[in-house]
Amino acid sequence: MRRAMLLAAIMMLSGMTFAQSAFDAIRIMQGEIGVGARALGMGGAYTGLADDYTALYWNPAGLAALRKSEFFGEVSHLNFNNSAAFRNTLTEDAQNYTRLRALGFALPLPTRQGSLVLAFGYNRVKDFDENLLFAGFNPESNGLSFEIDGNDFPFDQNVYQTQNVVDEGGMDQFNLGFGIALSPNFNAGVTATIWSGEDDYQYTFRQEDRENNYTAPGDYDYYILNRNLLTDYGGFALKIGGMFDLGNGLQLGGTIGLPHTINVEENYTENDLVVFDDGFESPYEWDPQTYEYDVELPFYFDGGVSFANDNLTVAGSFRYRDWSQVRFDISNDLLGQSGANDLLDENLFLRNDYRATLEYRLGGELSLDGMNGSLRGGYAYLPSPIKNASSDMDRRYITAGMGFKLDRFVVLDLTYMRGSWIKESEDSYTPGITAEDITTNRFFVGLRYQF
């Protein structure tokens, strides 16, 4: 008996065109948390304070405050917890990810007066690392069916479904910048960034006839679908910063991130397998597909203020970005190809369904006299870029950290960062909203060698 897939193939082939959506353009930068254990220990409220190597990311004007050369290195560990509710069934999944976070150097250059500091290095500022696992009995139809001997037989409802998504990768910066003292009370700086990123997205869907609802000739046992999307990102960007010394320990800082383009290259593979009660297997694998397009990112603006005395530092900062101005851009030679125009249509969704957001961060640092150390704490609020989104979808982070001066050259920084938010997802194979309750626990260990 010849058993061949028909509708399933049509469904999959429709996914073999450009599968990206407006959200996939947004996610390139959404949730960018930054770099630096000290900065993140203060919630990332560093735009008006930045006075170490990480000023290269937060505000390059702050580099001018460095009086010593500084070597900086940092690693991070992420524990990503996802409690997913699907069809009244709760599934919990947790994964760990350990990454090199930063490696760089800042060098004050000789000047007749004022200050000029050059810095360069590698920074990972955005993680794609996440996971999703859920399972449950689904009475609703997902439209799946197969052709057997010239007739269609559905395998679409009253089935037990399992979905597992593993996403690993991130956005990296290779930075070169400088800070310069233009007057006794004003510093300026510029950072040039080469963006480089990678994302390995793996999707597995399994559907089972656990209650034996399907009989011959459509006597299905289970169906498995595997998708893999390998994505590479690249681009170039500039950031301009300024820092004002207002006196009495007060500083005011600001930066402008100029519009830039991220090039995206995707390599997509897909295969599936249907197994029948008698053990007969019908596998299928589609030809690999490769796509390339650009995502245009708009201006963003950072501002911050800080106050410091001998024992206490407090700071606050914000970032404004209009997500509705993000755009897909496809080269002319791809226009008219299957799926390419769909990406251009997504620009309408970006304009209509996304909004401008104002992120804010607050933090403080308390010096411990006689202990060569400091305590830090902070809070960060990153609102969802989706219009009319529930506030539960906004990302909130609480941070705590410590710094220890191990000797006159070496400073060790430790930070814990806890985040939480809600996410909703749905696809054609698992109709019915999946509610994800996400909690992240991050640990940062940074080392500064100053000489």
> What six digits make up the tokens of 267?
């390599």
Q: Is the pLDDT of residue 426 over 90?
A: no
Rg (CA), the chain: 25
In whole angstroms, what separates CA 117 from the centre of its chain? Answer: 30
- For residue 172, give Cα distances in angstroms to 57, 100, 198: 11, 10, 9
What domain range is 98 assigned to? 3-450
Question: What H or E segment, with its residue span, contains residue 445?
Answer: strand 430-450
Q: Under 8 Å CB-to-CB from 219, ≥6 apart: which residues?
A: 276, 277, 278
The mean pLDDT value of the chain amounts to 93
In whole angstroms, what is the distance from residue 146 CA to residue 149 CA? 10
Cβ(418)–Cβ(398) below 8 Å: yes
The angle subtended at Cα 367 by Cα 362 and Cα 369, nearest 5°, is 165
DSSP annotation string for 378-392: EEEEE--SBTT--GG
What is the arithmetic mean of pLDDT over 122-147? 96
Q: Which residues pair with 321 in a beta bridge?
A: 300, 357
Please give the Cα distance from 127 to 166 (Å, whole number).
Answer: 13
Supply the pTM of this predicted model: 0.91
Structure-token pair, residue 340: 């390419």
Write out pLDDT tens, residues 344-400: 889 999 999 999 999 999 999 999 988 889 999 999 999 999 999 999 999 999 999
Confidence at residue 359, expressed as pLDDT on a 0 to 100 scale? 98
CA–CA dist 263, 197 (Å, integer): 10
Give the DSSP letter string of 241-289.
EEEEEEETTEEEEEEEEPPEEEEEEEEEEEEEEEEETTS-EEEEEPPPE
pLDDT digits (tens, 9 = 90+) for 99-109: 999 999 999 99
The band of 19, judged by pLDDT with boundaries at 50, 70 and 90, is low
What CATH number is given to the structural domain containing 35?
2.40.160.60
Residue 274 has pLDDT above 50, yes or no: yes
Tell me how many domains the chain contains. 1
What's the confidence (pLDDT) of residue 253?
A: 98
Using alpha carbons, select from 396, 443, 387, 398 the residue that is nearest to residue 422: 396
